[in-house]
Structure 1
Amino acid sequence: MANGFEPSLFDKLFEELPGVAAHRRYSLVQLIDGVARDLEALLNTRIVVEDLLHKDCPLAARSVIGFGLADFAGLNLVSVHDRRQICSAIKAAINAYEPRLKDVRVELEPEHKTVNALLFSIHAMLVVSFAEERVAFDATLQPTCLQYSVSQRSMRTRA
């Protein structure tokens, strides 16, 4: 890792100083933080025409039109079935739109004690150029606004 890692496409596109990100290299920690930020953007983007995409336009479902998650406003977040549906949707979105993550596993943390929030753990293998690293993220869903916040799980609590 002598030269570090190349910034993601989003990092290059949204760089404050155009052209700087193209030459900058990231450490592993910076890369994982960038993946967490990209996951947060993915999980906070809503698909408007999900059913149409999957039934009539399967190729479009994997394009930018299908980027994000369905709106879960109609789900019962206390229901085990609906919680599993959310876990499956998160996993499917990551598999489709985050190519740096392989072997993705998404689970609801049942012992999470925060009121008015659901905590999901995301475990995967980060695969970039010449490196592979097991990574874990915490994704917290605020049911009142259906917004996710994603952060890298600290080394102490990694599974």
Structure 2
Amino acid sequence: MNLDHLYPYGFRSTLFDRLILEHSDQHGLSIQALRESVACDLEDLLNSRMAKLDHVMDDFPWAKKSILQFGIIDFVGLSTANPLDRHKICQSIEQSIAAHEPRLRQIKVEMLFEGDNRGALCLSIQAYLNIHPLYEPIVFDALLKPTTQQYVISASA
């Protein structure tokens, strides 16, 4: 089923994208453009670090989902060789995506180990794209480049 046929006027972009869009004559995003928009926003999220304010935020549940907590935890001191640390990293990324990317549901993050990644951290982000009333499965590949310490994210085909 081609979702572009079900939604002939396209999908709505984010408010930020609509504010900076140079060509506002566009009706909406195609399903591919929507996937790329989510990938770009996930890249921004994973390349941001949040402050560790857990003890301060306990009494303020709405603040935990605010811009104060945008980003992911700093993984310094955690080892990808340790299964408990891997679980903590993946769980933290899942929680951050769930809090700050409302277009995705049922998020699952897994760490991938490939022999030729040369020290890079590879993640698979599996979720459902929330296209009311449908949920489209989507998979993103996230690669942390060791030289730049920046994530690069792409939607898998």
Report the TM range for the smaller structure's normalisation: 0.7 to 0.9
Pairwise CA RMSD of aligned residues? 2.0
1:2 to 5, 8, 11: 8
Unaligned stretches of 5+ residues in structure 1: 155-159
Q: What are the Cα deviations for residues 4-48 of structure 1, in whole angstroms up to 9, with x where unaligned?
A: 111112312332x2x717x54110000000000000111111112
1:20 maps to 24
Contact 1:73 1:146 in 2 (8 A): no
Distance 2:79 2:148 in 1: 14
Give how far 1:141 is off: 1.7
Q: Which residue is equivalent to 1:113?
A: 116
Q: What is the SS of the residue equivalent to 2:73?
A: coil
Percent of residue pairs bearing the same amino acid type: 38
Separation in 1, partners of 2:16, 2:128:
20
Residues 1:60 and 2:33 are matched in the alignment: no
How far, CA to CA, are the matches of 2:85 and 2:15 in structure 1? 33
Corresponding residue of 1:124: 127
TM-score (norm 1): 0.84
Of 9, 24, 35, 2:38 maps to 35
8 Å Cα contact 1:50/1:70 also seen in 2: no
Q: Judge conservation of contact 1:7–1:24 (CA < 8 Å) in 2.
A: no
SS of equivalent residue, structure 2 residue 80: coil
Give the aligned residue type for 1:60.
A
TM-score (norm 2): 0.85
8 Å CA contact retained: 2:48, 2:72: yes
Query: Which of these residues, 73, 93, 97, is aligned with residue 90 of structure 1?
Result: 93
